[in-house]
Amino acid sequence: MPRKKPIQRPMPRKGSCIPAFHKLSIEERVRTIRDRGLISQEDYKSLLAGRNVLSLDNAGAMIENVVGVMGLPVGLGLNFLVNGKDYVVPMAVEEPSIVAAVSYAAKTAREAGGFTTESTEQLLIGQIQIMDVPHPTRARAKLLRHKEEVLNLANSLHPRLVARGGGARELEVFLFPAASGKAEMVVIHLLVDTRDAMGANLVNTMCEGVASLVETISGGKVFLRILSNLADRSLVRARIRVPHEELTNNGFDGEQVRDGIIIAGEFADIDPYRAATHNKGIMNGIDAVALATGNDWRAVEAGAHAYAARGSRYTSLTSWRKDDEGNLVGEIELPLKVGIVGGSLQSNPTVALNLRLLGVKSARELAEVMGAVGLAQNFAALRALATEGIQHGHMTLHARSVVSAAGAPAELFDTVVDRVVESGEIKIWKARELIQEVSLEAGPSEITTPADPQMGVGHGKIILFGEHAVVYGKRAIAAPVPLAVRARIVDTDSGVWIVMPRWGIELRLHDDPKKRSAIEATGAVILEELGLGDRHMRIETYSEIPRAMGLGGSAAVAVAIIRALDIHFELALSEEEINLLAYRAEQVAHGTPSGIDNTVATFGRPILFRAGSPPEIEEIYFDKPLRFVIGITGAESLTAKTVARVRKAREKNRPVIERIFRGIDALTGQALAAIKHHDLEQLGDLMNVCHGLLNSLQVSSWELEELIQIAREHGALGAKLTGGGGGGSMIALCPENSEKVIRAMNDGGYQALEVSVS
Ligand code: NAD
């Protein structure tokens, strides 16, 4: 009796999670996928022997002038669970990290239930362009009346396709406006169900085949007959829903990663420059599957990008949002008209093997898996970018780009950024709403953040007299400005975060003290000194003071943070303790401060100050307020540099420089008397002389000089630089003509504001 041949059944597929797959050798990987029933013994052997590679003969039959074949790595995207079915996804791509990224993303997605996908009916559009139509509107109506006739003719050209359940399904007619005086153009869309083929050749043949019938019906002349790659009648949607707990990554809490992904997604929504890179990443995954499965990736690319540009601007193919339970929801929608038969698919043995390995039963199923791969790639990329972004302050930068996109005027910009971040809605609509709100509140030259009793406040300052000399024990006069820094504390689950939207800062306090920036060092020393080093929190700081403009921003930040901690943790600190701690923070962040900035930032009163331990501080009372204009150069004040320059000059020529310091000190004394008698002419003269002395120390800059000239020419009684110099700000005494001075400064391209010192 002849022995019965055992029936070769493929082993059951064992899921797409293969632990430690990346650690195996290539041979071990091939064996593993065979042992799991993902490939047959035949395919196993041909993979190991390299027999699956396209032969020269086959290559020669595919394109012209063939001289060889070119290899590309094929890797496996693991962990894919799509509509409850497991897929191991072959991906052909030369770029590292793509396969690892999608596998990692698919693993997170899988733990959250995997991808769900859906697709529209897979129709390919064939276009027939008809020119010289005598009555376009009538021709359209007639073509629609003869629709069945055209569809029947198209189907008769591909009876086998019809037998498989496919064929031409629908006909649409469009009229396009006349160009250069010619008659309107009539364009037919023939919608064809090409079943498991991509269908380019099938549809082209149909379009050509019905051309003469179309001419007879329309009375025009058929010109182009070709498919469209904007395959928007063949849409795929894929979706994932990930609980935020699953997003915890590298010590970043899940909610933050989720929100970061959403913000990164919004960036791509609003900005074509970002969208291009965002979508390129998506196509990293999709193209790799298209190549591995023998599909025309140029067609896939053309369709995806044309679809991304279908609205008023090129935008993202994905969307990311938070649902009511706080889960991250990601969706992708794009046209994918791919095939598992036809074209070059059969000629390349690797393609056939890859398709068997992937295990899709139809072109539609392949398209849906590709959609899931695109979404996985985007998820992985955004998660990585968002985590980076969280560390490096991209969230507040995003708020700045949203506010810019919403069209905030320059003078309101920073305030709107603050409010957008405070609102927690980093959205264009919110920014627009807040622009309105802030515009209504804003005075002509001064915009402040509304006071909130739960927030700690630190004041900005100007130095009226005595900068630089104060470092060498001379007196200085300083006064607060109505610009403040406000801070509040929000409890969080992990880490200490410092958020300063206006200065574009959003960072997590580095564990390693050596790696901390000045602002981190400020935060860290304050927390340690207050015994709060082990608490988790977000320190939100809203500053009206421009950064590094010589207006005492850093001391004001320190004071605002200390006060916010005092309020939040009910520490009952005295004003003196707050001042001392702010001084300590200034020392850590900036080296050797005189102590004047933290004192004004704390007490918010004009003072006469002499450095020492303890410093001599005397409050100054003004009978009548003094009106100054602050001109801001926009160039960072290089205080450390100018202080160092003065020190060097002093070392070189001590008697001369000491005489200048004494001169400044004398001016400070005279200024006190002038303030007491409200002698503004004298005060202005003293300011001008003081600036001359500061100039002799070479601490001015051309911007400062320009602002000072503008102020004097427009009627300021006196003008000088304020603070460290080398950039930063200047002040002008303008009792009557402040508006004129401000306008002139603005015309010169500088920011300026009026302050009243009392
Ligand atoms: P094709 O010409 O090979 O047609 C598919 C063939 O497969 C048909 O003969 C059909 O009868 C047969 N078939 C067997 N089983 C089938 C099934 N289940 N469902 C459907 N058909 C089945 O290939 P195509 O898909 O018409 O065209 C794809 C090729 O066209 C690609 O190689 C592409 O590069 C190329 N192309 C693309 C463009 C473009 O995108 N703009 C233009 C021209 C050519």
For ligand 1, whether the C-beta of 415 sits within 6 Å is no
**Residue 205 in contact with ligand 1 by CB distance below 6 A:** no
Is the pLDDT at 73 greater than 80? The verdict is yes
Q: Which residue, 560, 567, 612, 558, is CA-closest to 588?
A: 558
Pocket residue to mutate for ligand 1, from 125, 202, 229, 362, most atoms within 8 A of Cβ: 202
Mutate to test the pocket of ligand 1, among 227, 296, 305 (most ligand atoms within 8 A of CB): 296
- Predicted confidence at residue 394, as pLDDT, reads 58
501 lines ligand 1 (CB under 6 A): no
Q: Determine which of 177-181, 410-414, 508-512, 718-722 has the lowest per-residue pLDDT on average.
A: 177-181
Q: Average model confidence (pLDDT) for the chain?
A: 90
Enter the DSSP assignment of 366: H
Residue 75 phi, psi dihedral angles, 5° rounding: -115, 165
Interatomic CA distance for residues 156 and 206, integer angstroms:
9
Element (H, E) at 333: strand 328-335
Q: Which range has the worst mean pLDDT, 42-51, 196-205, 497-506?
A: 497-506
Alpha carbon nearest to ligand 1 atom 21, residue: 197
Ligand 1 in contact with 198 (CB < 6 A)? Answer: yes
Q: How confident is the model at residue 182 (pLDDT cuts 50, 70, 90)?
A: low
Ligand 1 centroid–CA 497 distance in Å is 56
Nearest C-alpha neighbor of 184 from the set 127, 133, 129: 133
Q: What is the mean pLDDT of residues 65-90?
A: 96
Identify whether the C-beta of residue 38 lies closer than 8 Å to the C-beta of residue 30: no
558, pLDDT greater than 80: yes
- Closest residue by CA, ligand 1 atom 44: 200
The structure tokens 């002008």 sit at: 732
Q: Give the pLDDT band of residue 391 (cuts 50, 70, 90).
A: low
CA torsion 566-569-573-578 (nearest 10°) is -40
- In this prediction, residue 418 carries a pLDDT of 83
pLDDT number for residue 446 = 42
Pairing outcome for strands 751-757 and 456-465: unpaired
* Residue indicated by tokens 């540009």: 309
Q: Which of 230, 404, 247 is nearest to 305 (CA)?
A: 230
Q: Which of 747, 681, 753 is nearest to 718 (CA)?
A: 681
Query: Tokens 């975060």 map to which residue?
Result: 497
What does the pLDDT average to over 625-635?
Answer: 93
The 10 Å CB-count burial string (b at 16+, else e) for 27-45 is eebbebbbebebbbeebbe
Of the two residues 545 and 354, the one the predictor is more confident about is 354
Q: Which residue has the tokens 């503008």?
A: 710
Give pLDDT tens digits for 667-700.
999 999 999 999 999 999 999 999 999 999 999 9
Ligand 1 atom, smallest distance to 302 CA: 40
Confidence band, pLDDT 50/70/90 cuts, at residue 613: confident
Q: What is the band of 253 on the pLDDT scale with cuts at 50, 70, 90? A: confident
Confidence at 3, pLDDT banded by 50, 70, 90:
very low
pLDDT number for residue 388: 67
Confidence (pLDDT) at 483:
81
In the chain, the amino acid numbered 262 is I
pLDDT at 7 over 60: no
Report the DSSP beta bridge partners of residue 756: 627
Judge whether 756 and 627 are in contact, CB under 8 Å.
yes
Dist CA 262 CA 245 (whole Å)? 15
How far, in Å, CA of 52 to CA of 45, rounded? Answer: 9
Index of the ligand 1 atom closest to the CA of residue 203? 26
Q: Which of these, 271, 345, 274, 332, lies nearest to 304 by C-alpha position?
A: 332
Over residues 51-77, mean pLDDT: 94
Cβ neighbours of residue 229 under 8 Å, at least 6 residues apart?
Answer: 299, 302, 303, 306, 337
Please state, for a pLDDT cut of 90, what percent of the chain lies above it: 70
Please work out whether the CB of residue 724 comes within 6 Å of at least one atom of ligand 1: no
Q: Is 291 in the pocket of ligand 1 (CB under 6 A)?
A: no
Q: Which two tokens stand for residue 359?
A: 């295990």
**What CA–CA distance (Å, rounded) separates 737 from 735?**
6
Output 155 or 6, whichever has higher pLDDT: 155
> DSSP letter at 741?
H
What distance in Å separates the CA atoms of residue 576 and residue 727, rounded to the nearest whole number?
32
Q: Which of 225-234, 360-369, 547-556 has the lowest mean pLDDT?
A: 547-556
* pLDDT at 447 (0 to 100): 40
Lowest-confidence pick of 217-221, 449-453, 536-540: 449-453
Whether 179 has a pLDDT exceeding 70, the answer reads no
* Bridge pairing between strands 456-465 and 221-227: unpaired
Kindly tell me if the per-residue pLDDT of 199 is higher than 60. Answer: yes
Return the DSSP state at 169: E
Residue 636 in this model has a pLDDT that exceeds 90: no
Name the pLDDT band for 250 (thresholds 50, 70, 90). low
- Hey, which residues are catalytic here? 95, 280, 296, 394
Query: To 5 degrees, how large is the angle CA 636–CA 640–CA 642?
Result: 80
DSSP secondary-structure letter at 95?
A: S
CA of 194 to the centre of ligand 1 (A): 8
The residue contributing the CA closest to ligand 1 atom 15 is 341
Of the candidates 328, 315, 322, 332, the residue with the CA atom closest to the CA atom of residue 372? 332
- Residue bearing the bigger pLDDT, 700 or 415: 700
Per-residue model confidence as pLDDT tens digits over 118-131: 999 999 999 999 99
**Ligand 1 within 6 A of CB of 296:** yes
Give pLDDT tens digits for 492-515.
Answer: 877 888 888 877 787 888 877 887
Residue 568 has pLDDT above 90, yes or no: yes
**CA 145 → CA 61, 124, 139, 207, distances in Å?**
44, 22, 10, 18
Quick one: average pLDDT of 704-709? 97
**Amino acid letter, residue 376:** A
Is ligand 1 within 6 A of the CB of residue 124? no
Residue 743 DSSP symbol:
H
Ordered DSSP codes for 188-241: EEEEEE-TTB--HHHHHHHHHHTHHHHHHHHSSEEEEEEE-S--TTSEEEEEEE
